[in-house]
Amino acid sequence: MTLTELLQQNFMQHALLASLLVSVTCGVIGALIVVNRLTFMAGGIAHTAYGGVGLAFFLGAPVLPTAGAFTAGAAMLLGTLTLKKRERTDTLIGVIWAAGMAFGIIMINLTPGYNVGLMSYLFGSILTVPASDLWLMLGIDVVIVSLTLYFYRDILSFSFDPDFARSRGIPVQWLYFMILIMVAEAVVMMIQVVGLILVIALLTLPPYLAERHTKSLAGLMVASGIWSFVFCLGGLWVAYQFDLSSGASIIATACTFYLAVAGGQTLWNLMRRQEKTAA
Amino acid sequence: MPVPIIQLRNVAFDFENTRALSDINIDIARGEFIAVIGPNGGGKTTLMRLILGLLTPTEGEVRIFGERPGTNPDRIGYVPQHSNTSPGFPASVEQVVLMGLAQGNSLFGKRRGIRYTREERAQAEHAMRRAGVSDLGKRRLNELSGGQRQRVLIARALITQPELLILDEPLSNIDPYGRQCILETLTGLDAQTTVVMVSHDLGITANAVTGIIAVNRFALASSGAQLTPAMLDLMYGIHEAGCPVHSLLQQMVETMPSENKLTQTQGKTASGCGHDTH
């Protein structure tokens, strides 16, 4: 099949649209995760989403909306616990992380029949995204982008200095919970693309790359979104060329880019230092 | 007699079943420059957070401009300890200063959205000039020295032209030149601006302050820039002559001026710090 023929296929058009929609959310939420140092928290939320997937299978309910509600609830619980016990944040995240996955596995065990498609939630299946899920992704994008734009100054102030933000009357706890819920919905959206095991990589690698060449939080969000889309396209191409898993190919593409840029920058700095020493 | 702008009446604060502050009665008048001193863990920062409304007293009452703390954030500027902020954050100096305009009291207030108006940028420019960082507007925080970063945070606090400025250890981990620049900025503010500053370094602030509050679970205030024996007893206990702490405390007393001196630097731009006091 030629590339042109491939691009005319319905599943590939859905995959490209899913990549675009997910990249918008990755840009916004990934930037917030990195600047607020919520990477481990986001990982915990991502793995807890499996509990929602299991619950959906058990109840015979649509997977993404059920997982979305379940994960948002888990995010609120995590937020409440970590605010009360700041010194035990990593322990609490680890507990909820494992408990969420265990709950999901038990729910699936209790679901009669053979549950096809479970692996797609763990490792992604961007090539099988239905139109209904694309509309859901669009809805999540609109909500996340609208909230971020409207509360941008509050989010910026809170992310930089929560103490000062509180002194300005900004409801920092409310913002914290809002960000965690947005992370939860972003994660559920991305399960389709890279699976919940690899979600955290697509959320964090684009901002890590983008922060080298951006000077504002808004710029970081836009650049992260662009990098995320590049990785999705590159990963899809690699998966097509070598008949590999699409989710893993996307993450492998992202990691390769990151190592190349980081390695290149280190080499460049070394060369400049040697030039200065020689001079 | 004018009403004090900061009033604490019988304030106590408990932190996890431990009484951190007890029986605090303080009045601070408009235009004063107050140094809050005391040992580590004595309650200085807790006192500042009670004044800002970040904590609620277990007992007693706090009034700022006659109202509950946090009622009008634009009248108060706050400079937290600079160690709370991340130098690698993706924001220029100007953007950090503009964060001082964010206000959460109104869900549908004017100050929303990504873009800043020309008036807001002019406010930021004015605040940066007052803090002596107007030439650093486009630079990122991780490119600045500790002293420069602290002055950026002071500019952020000054952007709303507050009547009360509260600073929590603004001079810690700052080199002597940076400290001098910061002090020049603070003493060069409008005479009606009240400054309350937590500081371990009483020596360097000696010529600037109009009053001292010593805090160590309780609080004692002096009417001038005088460190009294009672304050030293409160903070460090009674030490006899020959004890190393006794000679240290003697040195602290000797660094204080014998009279109440306030160095007037208004209108001056000494030391090359580059700030504009107008």
Average pLDDT, chain A: 89
Q: What percent of chain A has pLDDT over 70?
A: 97
CB proximity list for A150: less than 8 A, separation 6 or greater: B112, B113
The stretch B244-250 carries a mean pLDDT of 63
Rounded to the nearest angstrom, the minimum Cα separation between B219 and chain A is 23
Q: How many domains does chain A have?
A: 1
Write down the pLDDT at residue B263. Answer: 30
Of B88, B113, B140, the CB nearest to A152: B113
The stretch A158-174 carries a mean pLDDT of 91
pLDDT for residue B273 is more than 80: no
Write down the pLDDT at residue A274. Answer: 84
Distance of alpha carbon A246 from alpha carbon A236, whole angstroms: 6
CA-closest candidate to residue A28, choices A256, A168, A189, A253: A189
Write down the pLDDT at residue B267. Answer: 31
Q: What is the pLDDT of residues B93-109, one digit of tens each?
A: 999 999 999 887 556 55
The stretch A173-180 carries a mean pLDDT of 94
Q: Confirm whether A44 is domain-assigned.
A: yes
Q: Confirm whether A235 is domain-assigned.
A: no
Q: Confirm whether A50 is domain-assigned.
A: yes
Quote the DSSP letter at residue B73. Answer: G
The stretch A209-220 carries a mean pLDDT of 90
Write down the pLDDT at residue A155. Answer: 93
The stretch B52-81 carries a mean pLDDT of 91
Write down the pLDDT at residue B260. Answer: 34
Instruction: Check CB contact under 8 Å for A216 and B80.
Output: no
The stretch B151-175 carries a mean pLDDT of 91
Write down the pLDDT at residue B262. Answer: 31
pLDDT for residue B256 is more than 60: no
pLDDT for residue B74 is more than 50: yes
pLDDT for residue A183 is more than 70: yes
Instruction: Check CB contact under 8 Å for B103 and A217.
Output: no
Average pLDDT, chain B: 81
The stretch A206-212 carries a mean pLDDT of 89
A84 vs A44: which has the higher pLDDT: A44
Instruction: Give chain A as a DSSP string.
Output: --HHHHHTSHHHHHHHHHHHHHHHHHHHHHHHHHHTT-HHHHHHHHHHHHHHHHHHHHHT--HHHHHHHHHHHHHHHHHHHHHH-GGGHHHHHHHHHHHHHHHHHHHHHHS-S--TTHHHHHH--GGG--HHHHHHHHHHHHHHHHHHHHTHHHHHHHHH-HHHHHHTT--HHHHHHHHHHHHHHHHHHHHHHHHHHHHHHHHHHHHHHHTTS--SHHHHHHHHHHHHHHHHHHHHHHHHHHT--HHHHHHHHHHHHHHHHHHHHHHHHHHHHHHHHH-
Instruction: Check CB contact under 8 Å for A216 and B92.
Output: yes
Q: What chain B residue is nearest to A169 in terms of C-alpha separation?
A: B104
Write down the pLDDT at residue B264. Answer: 30
∠ Cα A189 A193 A199 (to 5°): 75
pLDDT for residue B163 is more than 50: yes
Domain that holds residue A179: 1-199
B104 vs A97: which has the higher pLDDT: A97
Instruction: Check CB contact under 8 Å for A156 and B91.
Output: yes
Distance of alpha carbon A85 from alpha carbon A100, whole angstroms: 20
Instruction: Calculate the CA B267 to chain-centre distance.
Output: 21
Q: Confirm whether A186 is domain-assigned.
A: yes
Check which CATH number belongs to the domain holding A45 and give it: 1.10.3470.10
Write down the pLDDT at residue B278. Answer: 41
Rounded to the nearest angstrom, the minimum Cα separation between B186 and chain A is 19
Residues from chain B that touch A164, judged by Cβ atoms under 8 A, are 78, 80, 99, 156
Quote the DSSP letter at residue B266. Answer: T
Residues 152-211 of B with CB under 8 A from A: 156
Rounded to the nearest angstrom, the minimum Cα separation between B170 and chain A is 14
CA-closest candidate to residue B197, choices B54, B128, B206: B206
Max mean pLDDT among A1-5, A262-266, B69-73, B134-138 falls in: B134-138
Q: Confirm whether A67 is domain-assigned.
A: yes
Residues 36-65 of B with CB under 8 A from A: 52-54
The stretch A68-75 carries a mean pLDDT of 94
Rounded to the nearest angstrom, the minimum Cα separation between A1 and chain B is 45
Write down the pLDDT at residue B261. Answer: 32
Of B90, B101, B103, the CB nearest to A216: B90
Residue A124 burial by Cβ neighbours in a 10 Å radius (0-12, 13-18, 19+): buried
The torsion angles phi and psi of B211, rounded to 5 degrees, stand at -165, 155
Q: Confirm whether A68 is domain-assigned.
A: yes
The stretch A76-80 carries a mean pLDDT of 92
Q: What is the pLDDT of residues A230-251, one digit of tens each?
A: 999 999 889 888 988 888 899 9
pLDDT for residue B49 is more than 50: yes
The stretch B186-208 carries a mean pLDDT of 81
User: Does residue B103 sit at the A interface (CB-CB below 8 Å)?
Assistant: yes
Write down the pLDDT at residue B11. Answer: 94
Let me know: does A27 contact A226? Beta carbons within 8 Å. yes
Which of A147, A163, A212, A222 is best to mutate for the B interface (most B CBs within 10 A)? A163
Mean pLDDT check: name the lowest of A116-125, A199-208, B60-69, B105-114: B105-114
> pTM for the complete prediction?
0.86
Instruction: Check CB contact under 8 Å for B104 and A171.
Output: yes
pLDDT for residue B277 is more than 50: no
CA-closest candidate to residue A161, choices B89, B54, B115: B89
Q: Confirm whether A252 is domain-assigned.
A: no
Distance of alpha carbon B237 from alpha carbon B225, whole angstroms: 21
Instruction: Check CB contact under 8 Å for A149 and B113.
Output: yes
Establish, for the pair of chains A and B, how many residue pairs have beta carbons separated by less than 8 Å: 86
Which of A164, A220, A221 is best to mutate for the B interface (most B CBs within 10 A)? A164
User: Does residue A145 sit at the B interface (CB-CB below 8 Å)?
Assistant: no
Mean pLDDT check: name the lowest of B44-58, B67-81, B135-149, B262-276: B262-276
Q: What chain A residue is nearest to B99 in terms of C-alpha separation?
A: A157
Instruction: Check CB contact under 8 Å for B86 and A149.
Output: no
Longest CA pairwise span in chain B (Å): 64
pLDDT confidence tier of residue A228, bands split at 50, 70 and 90:
very high
Write down the pLDDT at residue A92. Answer: 87
pLDDT confidence tier of residue B206, bands split at 50, 70 and 90:
low
Q: Confirm whether A279 is domain-assigned.
A: no
Residues from chain B that touch A170, judged by Cβ atoms under 8 A, are 102-104
